[in-house]
Amino acid sequence: MADPTYVERAARVKLMIFDVDGVLTDGSLHYGADGEALKTFNVYDGLGIKLLQESGVQTAIISARTSPQVVKRAADLGIGFLHQGGHDKLTPFHALLEKTGLTAGQVGFIGDDIVDLPILTRVGFAVAVPGGRKEVLERAHHVTVAHGGRGAVREVCELLLHAQGTYERVLAQFMV
């Protein structure tokens, strides 16, 4: 169940962390003929991340899986912190807090699976996607309408922009 104060929580976010599989993607893995796992990202999510960065909110990715496609996507979007590999997401989370000087209460995180719980239960704004595991959905402050890889990230980015009063400012560049 969503926390009724989620908009207030979103207003305090200075750093938004994204999981990859099931959040930035729909969770599917497609294997090419050479055995390489391929991922599909949503273009709307990408622009949402860029707009969020323009508003002053920092962005990061912490993912349990390792993928060269994620490295490329993070670079394309200018995501400043990327950690991949291993189910221990808490260690890179603490490293990120130390690097930025932020408190956990100033951080948002969107995840979908039980490996995300250590971060999800510590941040000020915890978000889940509707296809997430029950344990994640129960602990989230907000659950998106859109699914992972299908606009959930864009939805969260716009929610943050509205909550922080910066949506109109970042939209102005397109209203020429």
pLDDT tens, residue order, the chain (176 aa) = 455 689 999 999 999 999 999 999 999 888 888 888 889 999 999 999 999 999 999 999 999 999 999 999 999 999 989 999 989 999 999 999 999 999 999 999 999 999 999 999 999 999 999 999 999 999 999 999 999 999 999 999 999 999 999 999 999 999 98
Is 21:27 a contact under the CB 8 Å cutoff? yes
What pLDDT does 156 receive? Answer: 98
The secondary element (H helix, E strand) that includes residue 59 is: strand 58-63
What pLDDT does 2 receive? Answer: 52
What pLDDT does 3 receive? Answer: 57
Global pTM value: 0.95
Domain that includes residue 155, residue range: 6-174
Q: What are phi and psi of 5, to 5 degrees?
A: -100, 20
Residue with tokens 């960065």: 53
Q: Residue 22 is part of a domain; what is its CATH number? A: 3.40.50.1000
Residue with tokens 């993912």: 63
Is 61:79 a contact under the CB 8 Å cutoff? yes
Instruction: Let me know if residue 1 belongs to a domain.
Output: no
Instruction: Let me know if residue 29 belongs to a domain.
Output: yes
Using CA atoms, how far residue 100 sits from 22, 45, 103, in Å, is 26, 24, 9
The number of beta carbons lying within 10 Å of the beta carbon of residue 38 is 12
What pLDDT does 4 receive? Answer: 61
Both tokens of 52, joined, read: 């969020």
Instruction: Let me know if residue 63 belongs to a domain.
Output: yes
Count how many domains the chain has. 1
What pLDDT does 37 receive? Answer: 83
Instruction: Let me know if residue 18 belongs to a domain.
Output: yes
Alpha-helix residue ranges (DSSP H) falling in the chain: 6-11, 43-54, 68-77, 90-100, 117-120, 134-139, 152-163, 167-171
Strand partners, 110: 18, 127
What pLDDT does 80 receive? Answer: 87
- Which residues neighbour 36 within 8 Å (Cβ) at sequence distance 6 or greater? none
Instruction: Let me know if residue 120 belongs to a domain.
Output: yes
Residues comprising the chain, all counted: 176
Instruction: Let me know if residue 82 belongs to a domain.
Output: yes
What pLDDT does 1 receive? Answer: 45
